[in-house]
A and B are shown apart, each in its own frame.
Chain A
Amino acid sequence: DSGVTQTPKHLITATGQRVTLRCSPRSGDLSVYWYQQSLDQGLQFLIQYYNGEERAKGNILERFSAQQFPDLHSELNLSSLELGDSALYFCASSDRLAGGYTDTQYFGPGTRLTVL
């Protein structure tokens, strides 16, 4: 158990809908990262937050957004869902600002999103 929790574990929805994925980082960790894992793209970095502020963006679609709250939990919002958004979404956390050294990321169990 990494200490990172994600809810829900599974999510099934229809095209065009909007969903919210939730992540609670390990106790004390200030950074939260979101990754998408699909069969054709592998594990892809989406976005990072540190202590409530966005720090880095990767291959995140404009239909997707995220935020980190004062209690450090994070939410990933996916809107106007398409079939191709079906994937595993992982959250990871670490304890230091990007740019620090060996900022090991620990991953949660993921949310499996199925868009029908």
Chain B
Amino acid sequence: GESVGLHLPTLSVQEGDNSIINCAYSNSASDYFIWYKQESGKGPQFIIDIRSNMDKRQGQRVTVLLNKTVKHLSLQIAATQPGDSAVYFCAETYRAAGNKLTFGGGTRVLVKP
């Protein structure tokens, strides 16, 4: 069945350094991937997305990389700031199955000053 596997590690990063969060997915038919950020007590906040016909997409300080060969997704955050401390989730969807999102387990990012 569909699943997006993301173990729940905690990534500690020094302020100003770059962060890389990884995600593995199992449904090779998935055609749209999204990264969400969730701060304590809040709902998931959209960060960036990527289509399956792309392998890289950049936003403001964030880059998403997609490797369909190994079914791997990553989120890179440049110059990590204290406000980046949160739990990050990857999600995938497969259009033929509707637009429901399947989420990974999440990664907690802690930014050390």
Question: B-contacting residues of A (Cβ < 8 Å)?
Answer: 2, 4, 31, 33, 35, 42-45, 48, 55-56, 58, 90, 92, 94, 98-110
User: Would A55 and B98 be within 8 Å (CB), given that A2-B43, A107-B43 are in contact?
Assistant: yes
Residues of A within 8 A of B51 (CB): 101-102
* Chain B residues, CB < 8 A from A110: 42-43
B111 within 8 A of A: no
Q: Within 8 Å CB of A45, what residues of B?
A: 100-102
B7-63 contacts to A (CB < 8 Å): 32, 34, 36, 42-46, 49, 51
Q: Are the C-beta atoms of B101 and A105 separated by less than 8 Å?
A: yes
Residues of A with C-beta under 8 A to B46: 2, 104-107
Given contacts A2-B45, A102-B51, contact A48 B105 (CB under 8 A): no
Contact check, A108 vs B43: say whether CB atoms are below 8 A apart: yes
Which B residues are CB-close (under 8 A) to A103? 93, 99
B:92-113 near A, CB below 8 Å: 93, 95-106
Check B89 against A105 for contact (C-beta < 8 Å). no
Size class of the B contact interface (CB-based, 8 Å) = 20 to 34
> By the criterion CB–CB under 8 Å, are B99 and A94 in contact?
yes
Minimal beta-carbon separation of A8 from chain B (angstroms): 14
Assess the A48–B43 pair: CB atoms within 8 A.
Answer: no
B32, A42: Cβ atoms closer than 8 Å: no
**Which of chain B's residues has its CB closest to A107's CB?**
B43
Q: List 14 A-B pairs, Cβ < 8 Å.
A: A2-B43, A33-B99, A42-B105, A43-B103, A44-B103, A55-B98, A56-B97, A98-B100, A99-B98, A102-B32, A104-B46, A107-B44, A107-B46, A108-B43
Among candidates A58, A90, A101, residue contacting B43 with C-beta atoms closer than 8 Å: A90
Whether the pair A56, B44 counts as a contact (CB closer than 8 A) is: no
Establish whether residues A105 and B99, one from each chain, have CB atoms under 8 Å apart when the complex forms. yes
What separation, in Å, do the CA atoms of A44 and B101 have in the docked complex?
Answer: 8
